[in-house]
Structure 1
Amino acid sequence: MDAYVAAKLGGVPHLAIATEQGTVDILNTSKRDDWDVEPQRVTVQPHENGIFDVKWSPSDTLIATASGDHSIRISTLASSVAADDRTLHILCGHEGTVKSVAWDPAHDGAVLCSGSRDGGICLWDLRVGERADAGAMIPVLSIAKAHNLQGKTTKPKAPRGKLVPGVPLQSITHLLYTDTHPYSVISSCASEGILHLWDVRLPSSNTRPKTKKAAKQLPKPLFSSTDPTTYAGARRGRGITTLALGAGPTAALVFALGIDSRVHTYTLPSLAPLSGHMDSASALGILDDPHAYADERMKTNSFYVRMATSPCGRWLATGGAAEGRAYLYDISAAGRAGGRGRSGQGAGVELRGQTGEVGAVDWADGVLATCADDGTVRTWRPDVDVSRRCREDPREMAWEWAWSTDA
């Protein structure tokens, strides 16, 4: 099983587990003592193809799924709706695998955006969206090739018989709404560490382009970052897999997990990167960056590895590309003026209890969920008593518990 998780916030904790078979399983992850009884689940199948992202609506009443079938589907879990009728909307407007979907928190359950391997961003309004011939909804706003602002990409040329690098992928890897600027969405892509902030307010007759020339000029990002992944004169940037918004002590910050195995920090709304400004002569090099989070064992050189920040804004969790490892960082100092983030060797807390790649991670209130290639999803909670017992008798406790250790 290759799954992605999204943790429901508020009320009874639930977990949405999406698979490469196109199904979504909803499990109650309330703390329980009887490990022999699997929690009750509800299963829906919105797709016949792999699901690459799943998101709860802000009020936890709907789920949006992004799939390899080039569509987004909106499903309800209401018990009053028959299982075969739970897919409410089919959204079609991309020409490639849809990699990310995000709900607009200002329009609960009505407005969302999506990003695709085709490099485009689509905005959807479930209240007024037009429908194609087959009944699928079409986007109310589209941004084609959102991370190719220079226009058409030319194919590299080389003498006959010579190999040249291909054109970097411009696919959209993640989208994130932010409340620091009205109607704004942040996007990341697979080929660089540059982020864009877009104005995606619902279009009106006054804002639509009047001519074909004007249409080609619109839209443009309100803010664009520089690339913090180009450390010490690196020749090319590294892609971003996930974006996460800070809260509480880390409000007005955006964290981005790169395939350079580091978490970079950006400010809002300008997207100015705080990380990546290290002196190349530093003894510790990139691991000494006070605004980048890394560990010598953390490898995130896979676009299936994700990251998430806790609702309180203090903790950041990342998956890992090998050995069943996930990592937890205290990012509370990142929001302080002049505060130094914890980075470098020994900075993270290592979470071990699975095998293979740990891909999806997500939070509920006081609960972290991790999903791995071994087909398991684990939920992690702080428990002082269990932690003490694990330290006292690790061999015996290993049969029932997985626990974190200081890296």
Structure 2
Amino acid sequence: MASYDGGAASAATTCAFSNSSFTQKRGLIAAGTNDGMIYVLRAESAQKIQEIGRYDTSSLQNRTAVFKVQWSNDDLKIAIATGGKEAYVMDLHTETITAALHGHARSQKCIKWCPKQDWLLSTGSRDGSICVWDLRVHGGVFRDPEIQIRRAHSQPEITSSTTTVTDLLYTTEHSIYSAGAADAILKYWDLRNVKDSHEAAVSTEKSPSQMTKRSRGIQSFVDLDNGTLLALARDSSMYGYSNTTLAPTGDRITSPKLHANSAYASLSLSPCRRWISAGGAHGSGIVVNVEKIGCHGDENLRPEITHLEAEHGEVNGMSWSNSDLAMAYDDGTIRVWRSGVSNISG
């Protein structure tokens, strides 16, 4: 395991391997902190992580936290979700902010590039809205959203309700899934037909039967590419959903060391789609073999769960390369586990 702290006194909140890391070794890692710093790192060996660059966003947002970072498809830009009202796109070559995305009334919880279009990205916010941005539209650095879905996960009958949008996932350039903090419901949006937030969404009102009303809410979710969406819920369990009907499948994964109460809790899926990782308390991250998870509702499944123990620090964000797993800890460190995907179950 390699470790990097950069002399930081603040928590490392998020990290993301570059897209080139999915096919080659020694890819770059972008990491953010809760005082607005962005680090670009490279894991050189099992014992060494090299700092390539660091960028202070405090001049843009009065030193608020970085919630999420994501590389563009060509690895030339990094999208940044912040604790302020604006998200940013940074050009790594010029080390400048090329787009300041304003349209939210509160901080953003997630930011995602469209996998097929480098000019298209979306954000989800604590203000309850989803914004879609087209970077081809000229207008200087400051950009307005092309599409804004307000109250995306709020209850239609309660006009004053606002539910945080916690995560997004593109299915095509015209459609996305979304999750919210108040319930266990996933939604599907056709961005070509967005007129009213509650008419445009496809969802099911069903929640996983094992989930209590007090613990409902989804922190993060991924597409396993086998017909199943796997979601990390606020009750520190993972639940399966059909990616066509969005109904719960009955699959559930849990561990005493899985911890989803952090503001930065998330899931990460390995490039081979075999492994999923999630954060935990007391320095423990978990890795789960999800090959047998599917839309069959078998609650008796016991997927293989591996615990990755560090000395201390709660696990926040995490990200996979083709063979390594990076984790961001609230003690300010980034740790990279280099045992290899095929051997990580050890």
Regarding TM over 0.5, the answer is yes
Q: Report if aligned partners of 1:228, 1:264 keep a CA contact under 8 Å in 2.
A: no
Given candidates 270, 282, 296, the residue that maps to 1:323 is 282
Aligned pair 1:378/2:335, yes or no?
yes
Q: Report if aligned partners of 2:36, 2:56 keep a CA contact under 8 Å in 1.
A: yes
Q: Report if aligned partners of 2:39, 2:51 keep a CA contact under 8 Å in 1.
A: no
Q: 1:107 to 1:235 in 2, by over 3 A?
A: closer
Given candidates 203, 207, 216, the residue that maps to 1:224 is 203
- Between the aligned partners of 2:86 and 2:105, the Cα distance in structure 1 is 9
1:13 Cα deviation (Å)?
1.0
- The corresponding residue for 1:143 is 149
- The corresponding residue for 1:272 is 247
Q: 1:235 to 1:338 in 2, by over 3 A?
A: closer
Aligned pair 1:360/2:317, yes or no?
yes
- The corresponding residue for 1:394 is none
Q: Report if aligned partners of 2:249, 2:296 keep a CA contact under 8 Å in 1.
A: no
Q: TM-score, normalized by length of structure 2?
A: 0.86
Given candidates 44, 47, 56, the residue that maps to 1:45 is 56
- Between the aligned partners of 1:336 and 1:66, the Cα distance in structure 2 is 32
Given candidates 82, 87, 92, the residue that maps to 2:102 is 92
Given candidates 158, 161, 166, the residue that maps to 1:173 is 166
1:129 Cα deviation (Å)?
5.4
- SS, match of residue 252 in structure 2: coil
Specify which structure has the higher proportion of strand: 2
- Between the aligned partners of 1:383 and 1:64, the Cα distance in structure 2 is 27
Unaligned runs of 5+ in 1: 155-166, 202-206, 209-214, 276-290, 388-402
1:375 Cα deviation (Å)?
1.5
Q: 1:235 to 1:173 in 2, by over 3 A?
A: closer
- Between the aligned partners of 1:383 and 1:113, the Cα distance in structure 2 is 32
Q: Kindly provide the amino acid, as one letter, of the partner of residue 2 in structure 1.
A: A
Q: How well do the aligned residues superpose, as a CA RMSD in angstroms?
A: 2.6
Given candidates 106, 124, 127, the residue that maps to 1:118 is 127
1:374 Cα deviation (Å)?
1.6
Q: Kindly provide the amino acid, as one letter, of the partner of residue 254 in structure 1.
A: L
Q: Kindly provide the amino acid, as one letter, of the partner of residue 318 in structure 2.
A: V
- The corresponding residue for 2:252 is 292
Write out aligned runs for 1:95-106 (5 A).
Answer: 95-106=105-116
1:330 Cα deviation (Å)?
0.6
Q: TM-score, normalized by length of structure 1?
A: 0.73
- SS, match of residue 220 in structure 1: helix
> Deviation string for 1:276-296 (max 9, x for gaps)?
xxxxxxxxxxxxxxx111113
Q: Kindly provide the amino acid, as one letter, of the partner of residue 355 in structure 1.
A: H
- Between the aligned partners of 1:21 and 1:307, the Cα distance in structure 2 is 22
Structure with the larger RCO, 1 or 2 (CA within 8 Å, 6+ apart):
2
- Identity among equivalent pairs (%): 30
